[in-house]
Amino acid sequence: MFTLAQKVQYAVTPVHTKDEFELFRKALQPGGLFCSPEGPPNFGMMAAWWSSQVNGTSIFYKFPEYLATHHKTWLDQKHTSHTMIASREQQKPNET
Closest CA to 32 of 55, 11, 60, 53: 53
Average pLDDT, the chain: 86
Reference 13, options 75, 70, 78, 76; nearest CA is 70
pTM score: 0.75
| 4: confidence class by pLDDT, cuts 50, 70, 90 | very low
Please report which confidence band the pLDDT of residue 6 belongs to, taking 50, 70 and 90 as the band edges. low
With bands split at pLDDT 50, 70 and 90, how would you rate the model's confidence at 54? very high
Average pLDDT over residues 38-58: 94
pLDDT in tens, 81-91: 888 888 877 77
